[in-house]
Structure 1
Amino acid sequence: MSRLLLSSLLASSLLCTLPASAVSGCFLYVDSNGQTLSAEGDCTTRLPPASTFKIPLALMGYDSGFLVDEKLPALPYKPSYDGWLPAWRETTTPTRWAAHSVVWFSQQLTEWLGWERFQQYVNRFDYGNRNIDGNPGKHDGLTQAWLSTSLLISPEEQARFLSKMLSGKLPVSAQTLQYTANIFKVSEIDGWQIHGKTGMGYPKKQDGNLNRDQQIGWFVGWASKPGKQLIFVHTVVQKPGKQFASLKAKEEVLAALPARLASY
């Protein structure tokens, strides 16, 4: 796997490890009331959320005041931060954070919140298994919980979370919801605004190392226009190839959406 190819992937999604039990992908459509419209594959197995966790992180950030709008705060890169990708070694705004999956920006947000408030948000959002302990014995959940460690969520739970968010059932303001939607907008289709986030990872082997013979990717989000909303959650399970699982998941959703939206 070339560094250039991996860098292009990580610009839109973070690598994380996933349980070996995740053996089948899921394609799920849900309406804004939480009613399942269609479901294919394994939509019940819990997986680490990877970069898709930036959606709830954005809600936490705007609700708490750490995030101001789409352009503020503009946090400068510091040598002590993870700057493995060139895109991470620049001043980062909320929009840039969402687009490039800047790890250290997420971690600055959660460290600012502190463990207690972070846990409170995860509980209030009823997000997956709610476990932010992180790696066993390392007490690193504040910065690592969603990155292949303790926090897990199924496709069905992702859809449920998004349904609560879109229907105003989460304890955050309308302005928080709007800013979050703004930074995760990815395209437009026939008058529908498409918002979403990718995430990708590998299962772990028995020895704890990544199993790079299998990739599992996410693309989760929603399509909206006045009076209508459609939630989608897609996971792809595949062997490594020319296209990464997360990017394939995103492309498959965007390819399927025009026909789905036309009949919705």
Structure 2
Amino acid sequence: MDENGNYVELDKLNYATNEYDFDPSAIVWNNIERTFEDSINSWIFKVKISFLRTQNVKEDIFVNISLLPSKPVITDIDFQYEYDWINDYMSFDSEFLFNVQSDRVDDYWLYCSDSNNFKDESEPFFRYIWTLEFKEFGKAYYSMANWGENICVLARNKYGSVRSDTIFTTDYIYDTDVLKRIDELHHKSSLNRVKENIPDDICYEDDILYCSEEVLLLQIYDLSGRIVFNVSTPRTVDISGLKTGLYIVSIRSRENKCKSLKIQKK
């Protein structure tokens, strides 16, 4: 049936063999029952086809249809980074590289949480969404990746979207010194994982950064690590003149504490 509850008529392709065809775009697939089929790694819609004679149902049959992208599979992960021991942050040129595979996909989106989280079993909070980018050799990458980030990939086509399993960037750090430092930070924290770690001293809205009186210094870095803003005792910072892209905002408080957050300049 269509979105109004009316039957969608099938086009008969071959009268001799009783072969039929239908336009999938005529159906609202969000309203149709679906189940996940592990054997093909895909969601299956269960569709009822009714053969009618006038307004009376003559016969019903049920068929399974796979239209959504298959569940994205992430493999061959490589986290390339240098650790900033002063700020407990990864270098600005760090990259999280991986292969991703999905069938029937038109495009991919990358979902990412805040950084500096500690792993637990709760559902991650995805704050950032970007179009997934690929290297020349076909490998997907996430630039300026940091430890403690939850990442997943969304595969889309015109019928809907399917999300991959979530991966945790810290799981792909193998430097024992860095892992030891993250463990120390974990023990110092009273939280297992921080869902909302945007600093209370700063707010970003409509290309304006609003700072509290506690902020003594604000610096903004571009993807190359270059400082594009360096302001003392700021109250508002207008970044409308910056190019579109991802930036790191670092602030220092009157208590000499440093905090950072990522912003997406549109």
TM band (smaller chain): under 0.3
Q: Which protein, 1 or 2, shows the higher relative CO under an 8 Å CA cutoff with sep ≥ 6?
A: 1
TM score, norm. by length of structure 2: 0.26
TM score, norm. by length of structure 1: 0.26
Identify, as 1 or 2, the structure richer in helix.
1
